[in-house]
Amino acid sequence: MKERIGFIGLGLMGFGMATNIVRKGWPLTVMAHRKREAIETLLKAGAQEARTPKAIAEASDIVILCVTGSPQVEEVINGPDGLVAAGKPLMIIDCSTSNPSVTVKLAEELAAKNIILVDAPMSRTPKDAMEGTLDIMAGGSDADFARAKTVIDAFAGRVIHTGPVGSGHTMKLLNNFISMGYAALYSEALMLGVKAGLTPKVFDSVIRNGRMDCGFYQTFFKYVIERDKNAHQFTLSNAHKDMSYLASAAVAMGAANPMGSAVRNAFATAVGTGQGEKYVPMLSDIVAELNGVSLVEPAR
């Protein structure tokens, strides 16, 4: 018999994940996000609705979180009418991108209350979430990972056990450091190219299908070349948040992380100029504009 699943965080990624869970026969209880559209679709598919995290916990054996970051995770777990308020054994799978040090501390506190925390952040896009092909990097004991994986498999194509609790969130920050580093590099390279008379199309014709091509490049340049605003639906403010978590982790380790600082500042500039709700590929336009050029070729 399948365990009862609760889900909190029906945003761009969470909606697709929850859709796969209910579609694949798991008993699902959900909470509304900012808008009702997602939850109404899930209710029609067979999910149940709860009004508070406490009510979600009461109806569930495993609760999956897909919220913004550590402050939101802590609020859902320990806030008024939070998951802990249900006073029952529970497994929490945190698919958010959270601060690893906060995750480890939280796991220790929850263990004393007979609540298991597994950190299982994801990689890929909302399209992959809907198709059930996300990459998941999960931290926890062997037994906890095995239990969590039974439901994670409903929305993931690859599930990697990274080690103990906190290691999943650490690996996620490293993954995002690489991808957001690419975004910052692409943006500066495009700007320099335009200043030198090389159009984004010429740039793309050289990089695409060459050694420097990759999946992230392709979604980024789907915006740059085709101006598809939804090519990579991850906000600049979220990127800045993740790079700030990375900086915090580096400080805690006593590590020099100069590249991380440069990448974080690229996104800090975007957020500081009031453009945090734009998506990551749009960093290219911001960098170009700050340097007095445009990546949009004039109509002929």
Active-site residue set:
172
User: SS3 of 8, please?
Assistant: strand
Distance CA(138)–CA(266), nearest Å, equals 29
Tokens linked to 1: 């018999």
The interaxial angle of helices 167-195 and 100-111, nearest 10 deg, is: 160
Find how far residue 70's CA is from the centre of its chain. Answer: 12
Q: Do residues 39 and 94 lie in contact, with contact meaning Cβ atoms separated by under 8 Å? A: no
Across-strand partners of 30? Answer: 7, 49
Structure tokens at 59: 């109806």
Torsion of CA 273, 278, 281, 93, to 10 degrees: 120
Tokens representing residue 89 in the block: 């054994």
Nearest to 225 by CA among 204, 197, 210: 204
First-to-final CA distance of the chain: 63
Query: In this structure, which amino acid lies at residue 242?
Result: D
